[in-house]
Structure 1
Amino acid sequence: MLVMNRFVVEEVAAGSFTERAHAALAALAARPGYLRGRLTRSLDEPSHWCLVTEWESVGTYRRALGAFDVKVYATPLLAESLDEPSAYETLAEAAPSGEVVTAASDRAADPGAPSSR
């Protein structure tokens, strides 16, 4: 699972932002199910930043959000991200020079349909 939180940061606040983003990334990285993460900045618009993390599953990500250090260091920062979808499931991937491998969605086929139970 991929999580992308995008931010618009004024140049005068960039130093404080990166310190807080590093602390948030460290707190998230310490949680079970975390695979990798990075803090990125747009080359075209230097005020645009993105905190990208990858997780084993949606469950490990959601459990990570409940951890004390994540609530202290990551949640306040994530609350400042742009109000847009941030969690994405991987439906296809390819290694360098590799074949495209697809995966089924974890989403219900029709979330509004009644259960068959």
Structure 2
Amino acid sequence: MLVMTRFVIDDTADAADEFAGRAHAALAALAACPGYLRGRLARAYDDPAHWSIVTEWESVGAYRRALSAFDVKVHATPLLAQSLDEPSAFEVLAESAPGGELKVTTSDRA
């Protein structure tokens, strides 16, 4: 499962530094949860006010359970609440590795 949260942050050095520090703490809290696979903080090249946090999880259940962890509630939830109001959780339906075959899966949605 893939979670993409996007943010628009004031384009000042202080705001960027403050946001990045909070995002690092959020990623660390999420990374400590069972089912977490990886996460990244990214900033747009074309518009440095736009940021995103992308995490990957073993399952939607693992992600939802992680949201109830104490450290996540303290460090990640307040930050995630500032994200753009748009869908953020996605099921992966196809993937490929460099030089590998395309792996297509069916949806788990009922």
TM-score category, normalised to shorter length: over 0.9
The one-letter amino acid of 1:51's match is I
CA shift, 1:11, in A, is: 2.1
TM-score of the superposed pair, with normalisation by structure 1: 0.91
**Larger displacement relative to structure 2 (6-15 or 43-52):** 6-15
Deviating beyond 6 angstroms after TM superposition, the runs of 4 or more aligned structure 1 residues are none
> In angstroms, what is the RMSD of aligned CA positions?
0.6
Q: For residue 4 of structure 2, what is the amino acid of its counterpart?
A: M
Partner of 1:111 in structure 2?
none
Deviation of 1:98 after TM superposition, in Å, equals 1.1
**Hey, what's the Cα distance between the residues in 1 that align with 2:20 and 2:71?**
17
Q: Does 1:71 align with 2:69?
A: no
TM-score, normalized by length of structure 2? Answer: 0.96
Tell me the residue number matched to 1:19.
21
Does residue 99 in structure 1 map to residue 101 in structure 2? yes
**Matched residue count:** 108
Q: Percent identity?
A: 72
Q: Distance in 1 between matches of 2:96 and 2:24?
A: 29
* Match in the other structure for 1:5: 5
Instruction: List runs of 5+ in structure 1 lacking aligned partners.
Output: 109-117
CA deviation after TM superposition for structure 1 residue 65, in Å? 0.1
In structure 1, what is the Cα distance between the partners aligned to 2:31 and 2:22? 14
1:83 aligns with 2:85: yes
Offset, 1:15: 1.0
**Structure 1 position 31 matched with structure 2 position 5:** no
